Amino acid sequence: MSNPIDDVPIRDGMIRLGQLLKLANLVEDGVEATELIKNGMVKVNGEIDDRRGRQLHNGDTVTVNGQTVRVVVPDAG
C-alpha cells in the first residue's frame, strides 16, 4: 500500500528543491535539506536527485523518508 501524496501549493510557477523541502516541513532547515539531498535520500518524480537548486514545477513529486509531496500551482486566474 502506498502512502498518500500531500499537495504543497506554491505562489510562483517554480520552486527549488531545497525550498520545497522546507515549505512542506520535510526538513527543519536548509542544512538538513542539503544533507539529505547530498546523500541521495531525496527522489524527484521517482528518481534520486542530488541538486538542491533543482527547479520543480506543477505536478512534480518529491519523496523523502517515505513521505511524498506534490507541487501544486494554484490557478493564476
pTM to 2 decimal places:
0.90
CATH code for the domain of 52: 3.10.290.10
Q: What is the mean pLDDT of each run of 10 residues along the chain (77 residues)?
A: 84 95 96 97 97 96 96 77
Tell me if 77 is assigned to some domain.
Answer: no
Tell me if 13 is assigned to some domain.
Answer: yes
- Residue-wise burial string across 8-30, b where 16 or more C-beta atoms lie within 10 A, e elsewhere: bebeeeebebbbbbbbbebbeee
Grid cell at residue 55: 527547479
The pLDDT value recorded for residue 2 is 61
The pLDDT value recorded for residue 40 is 97
